[in-house]
């Protein structure tokens, strides 16, 4: 993939930061739970173990990711988020819960996957409520497309998974369609990691607006 031609699936917004978010962001370079991607990710070096690793794209306020990591200490988690408020939030949560199985970075997920994740190395990949870009003229900005599936297929090990949740029906229809056209994936029932998971902030907002929540799980053949 040519990174210069990559259409970003996000627009950086400068939201207000809380004092605690500012503190954790200011000290993030010294925080062992934060990393700046400069070369291929070495799981053993970062986590000091050989546990399977899940990449979570766009972790938002971090509450879902930290709750999953706390439940499953036998797995490692990498979290990618472009918004500083989310990074500040999750660093605070990781510190409070004393979690050792999450590392986070502020990065464009497609470029990160392409350049810093070794092929066939991930156990799974999750995207909870990616930006739906609801206007038709912006559909090209949606992160989940044919190119993304081919990239994910390269990076996820055989029998690994992709987990997706969205509250936009025309986005879920599109996602199902492109997965159906890709012979590298098989749709499966919900993945054990995410059963009885907590609701995300975006999910609660979608429910309050009367949106239907669609959860999709796929296995890499």
Assess if residue 34 is contained within a domain.
no
pTM: 0.86
The number of folded domains in the chain is 1
Q: In this structure, what CATH number is given to the domain that contains residue 94? A: 3.40.50.150
List, for residues 149-208, the tens digit of each pLDDT value. 999 999 999 999 999 999 999 999 999 999 999 999 999 998 999 999 999 888 898 899
Assess if residue 78 is contained within a domain.
yes
Assess if residue 189 is contained within a domain.
yes
List, for residues 19-75, the tens digit of each pLDDT value. 666 665 666 666 678 888 777 888 888 899 999 999 999 998 999 999 999 999 999
Residue numbers annotated as active site: 131
Measured CA to CA, the distance from residue 143 to residue 11 in angstroms comes to: 12
Domain membership of residue 199 as a residue range: 54-220
Query: What is the pLDDT at residue 4?
Result: 44
The separation between the first and the last C-alpha atoms of the chain, rounded to the nearest angstrom, is: 22
Assess if residue 188 is contained within a domain.
yes
Assess if residue 29 is contained within a domain.
no
Query: What is the pLDDT at residue 35?
Result: 83
Assess if residue 15 is contained within a domain.
no
């Amino acid at each position: 993939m040519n990174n210069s031609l990559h259409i970003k699936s996000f627009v950086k917004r400068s939201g207000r930061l809380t004092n605690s978010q500012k503190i954790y962001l200011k000290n993030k370079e010294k925080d062992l739970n934060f990393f700046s991607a400069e070369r291929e990710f070495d799981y053993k070096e970062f986590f000091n173990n050989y546990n399977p690793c899940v990449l979570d794209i766009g972790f938002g306020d971090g509450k879902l990711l930290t709750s999953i990591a706390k439940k499953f200490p036998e797995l490692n988690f990498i979290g990618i988020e472009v918004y500083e408020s989310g990074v500040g939030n999750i660093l605070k949560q990781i510190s409070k819960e004393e979690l050792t199985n999450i590392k986070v970075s502020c990065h464009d997920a497609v470029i990160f996957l392409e350049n810093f994740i070794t092929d066939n190395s991930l156990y799974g990949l999750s995207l909870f409520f990616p930006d739906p870009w609801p206007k038709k003229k912006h559909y090209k900005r949606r992160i989940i497309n044919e190119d993304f599936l081919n990239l994910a297929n390269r990076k996820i090990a055989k029998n690994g998974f992709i987990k997706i949740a969205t509250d936009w029906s025309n986005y879920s229809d599109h996602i199902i369609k492109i997965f159906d056209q890709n012979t590298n994936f098989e749709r499966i029932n919900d993945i054990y990691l995410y059963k009885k998971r907590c609701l995300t902030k975006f999910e609660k907002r979608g429910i309050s607006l009367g949106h239907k929540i669609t959860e999709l799980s796929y296995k890499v053949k």
